[in-house]
Structure 1
Amino acid sequence: MAKGKTKDGSTEEKIKEAARKLFTKKGFAATRTRDIAEEAGLNLALLNYYFRSKQKLFDIIMMENFRQFLGGMSAYFADESLTMEERISRVVNAYIDFLTEFPDLPLFILNELRGNPSKIAMKVNEEVGPARSQLFKELLNAKKEGKTALDPFHFVANLVGLTVFPFVGKPLLQRVTNASDEQFRAYMEERRKLVPMWIGMMMKGSGGS
């Protein structure tokens, strides 16, 4: 590569897309830079020119994936013009859309979270800090007023668990229930209405206890 040559954005995106596919499927340790170069249809020297190391490329991909994963929650929960019920419904719909398109992403994030929790925790604070503060404030105020006993931890755990876990546990769920891919997709469509309803029931049902 000639010194001073301008980097091509389309080539950079091609490398990132190949890396995203392989990192998500195989994880960081099992993915070689040579594998990424082959997947992108490029030579290894060109990949090294754009991204100096596998670690640097992985960090970029990981943070972009995580930003996508958290973006919907942050945007909707920060919107005070919406009721809590509307925000929950929009977050659930956004995640089901997103995870239907990228079903392997939650497991990838969970696997990497075990290896570097502090880095992921820092990124969570950066991405959802303002929205989280507003959401937690509303939930804690509702709890003080006796409208709900569902504190922020249980709220987030229920929302993420009910929405994300079916995609993480898809192979097991399909085997246990004998659900086909088509049936699984139909169940996920049903959960667009069911999950907000269940969370609403939990919040209302726990009030005054």
Structure 2
Amino acid sequence: MAKDLNTEQKIKEAARKVFLKKGFAAARTRDIAEEAGINLALLNYYFRSKEKLFRQIMEESLHTFFSSVLPTMSDPNVSLRDKVPFFVNSYTDVLISNPELPVFILSELRNDPDHIVQTLQMNKRLNLSVLFGQIMEAQQKGEMIPLQPWNFLLNLLSLTVFPFIARPLIQRLSDTNDEQFKQLVEERKAMIKAMVMGYVFTEKGKG
């Protein structure tokens, strides 16, 4: 029997919901089949195991981020000052298109960080040597204030991703719809870039 792409996509969308709600360990294939509106035998035909299904979903989710951001962040020919606006713009755009992405990934990282790191070989994917090297070089030249490279990256990540994690609360408290929320995070692009660039780079580094 040939596999139907619509059915496969339906299963993956259902699995995302179940994994997000219950986490990998507590989720059952039967739960996913019920969410997708199919029988368990059909789910097993498309995905032989819960592990395989989870791995594919996480691969696709992380690929969305990795493919759009990491190549440039790891490029030694792109300056550190150019990487800040690129990261903020690109990551925000990815999250606008995939608003469930940070919650899905963070929920599993919270439940079982070792599982996701080992399964997806994130240590190999996340090569930060170029970016961190540029940060250290900028500090040595007096172009950047002293700070740990991880703090530089964490500031970029947290300032960009937090509104998407807190989106339900933000929209409820501010009484905004999806389009208004999109406008909010679009406005934040310029704010984040100005805050990070203004704080971490010295006058010499801003020149």
Common fold, TM-score beyond 0.5?
A: yes
Q: Percent identity?
A: 46
Distance 1:78 1:9, change over 3 A: farther
Q: Which whole-Å CA distance do the structure 2 matches of 1:79 and 1:57 have between them?
A: 32
- Out of 92, 99, 111, the position equivalent to 1:103 is 99
- Out of 48, 51, 54, the position equivalent to 1:55 is 51
After TM superposition, list the pairs within 5 Å mapping 1:1-209 onto structure 2: 8=3, 10=5, 11-24=7-20, 27-28=23-24, 31-122=27-118, 123-129=121-127, 132-148=128-144, 149-176=146-173, 178-181=174-177, 182-205=179-202
Measured against aligned partners, the alpha-carbon deviations of 1:160-208 in whole angstroms (never above 9, x if no partner) come to 01100111112333445x2512432211111222212211112115989
User: Counterpart of 2:123 in structure 1: which amino acid?
Assistant: N
- 1:99 and 1:105 in contact (8 A); partners too: yes
Q: Which 5+ residue runs of structure 2 have no aligned equivalent? A: none
In structure 2, the residue corresponding to 1:70 is in which secondary structure? helix
Q: Which whole-Å CA distance do the structure 1 matches of 2:27 and 2:147 have between them?
A: 42
Q: Which whole-Å CA distance do the structure 2 matches of 1:158 and 1:142 have between them?
A: 17
In structure 1, the residue corresponding to 2:109 is in which secondary structure? helix
Q: How many residues align?
A: 200
Q: Which whole-Å CA distance do the structure 1 matches of 2:30 and 2:113 have between them?
A: 28
TM-score of the superposed pair, with normalisation by structure 1: 0.80
Q: Which 5+ residue runs of structure 1 have no aligned equivalent? A: none
> What do you get for the CA RMSD once the two structures are aligned?
2.7
- 2:159 and 2:192 in contact (8 A); partners too: yes
- 2:80 and 2:134 in contact (8 A); partners too: no
Q: Which whole-Å CA distance do the structure 1 matches of 2:160 and 2:39 have between them?
A: 40
User: Counterpart of 2:93 in structure 1: which amino acid?
Assistant: D
- 1:106 and 1:164 in contact (8 A); partners too: yes
